[in-house]
Amino acid sequence: MVRALCMGLPEATERVSHGEPAWFVRKAPQFVMFADQHHDDRVGFYAAAPAGAQQDWIDRDPTRFFSPPYFGGRGWIGVYLDVEQDWEDVADIVEDAYRTVAPRSLVLQLDAERQP
């Protein structure tokens, strides 16, 4: 499901980074990284996030969201996938991650695609 959300965004690409699937805008920058027991015994992903979003998600539900190692200091949000998730929340996090790092032209393209 995470792969489908990421690859549904304009000019998103996938490749392995640090031994895990990761998603990038074009060739760079990275906006989501899968984490299959990467630093612990949990399955989840890390996502770029706009300022303040990391703490907001963690405050909402620390059983689903966390500050990931290394990336958390840059404001990224961690999302556990080994617990029940609200996939609308996950979709919002992935799209916000993309919007955080994508060039303005691609954000405008995404906005145009989202228009009814």
| In a domain? residue 46 | yes
Domain span at residue 10 reads 2-108
pTM: 0.95
The confidence score (pLDDT) of residue 37 equals 77
| In a domain? residue 113 | no
| In a domain? residue 89 | yes
pLDDT tens figures, 22-65: 999 999 999 999 999 767 789 999 999 999 999 999 999 999 99
| In a domain? residue 15 | yes
Cα 11 vs. chain centroid, distance in angstroms?
15
- Residues 47-64: b if buried by 16+ CB within 10 A, e if exposed: bbbeeebbeebbeeeeeb
| In a domain? residue 67 | yes
pLDDT tens figures, 81-101: 999 999 999 999 999 999 999
**For residue 96, what is the domain's CATH number?**
3.90.1150.30
Is residue 116 scored above 90 in pLDDT? no
| In a domain? residue 116 | no
Number of domains composing the chain: 1
| In a domain? residue 53 | yes
The confidence score (pLDDT) of residue 38 equals 65
The confidence score (pLDDT) of residue 56 equals 98
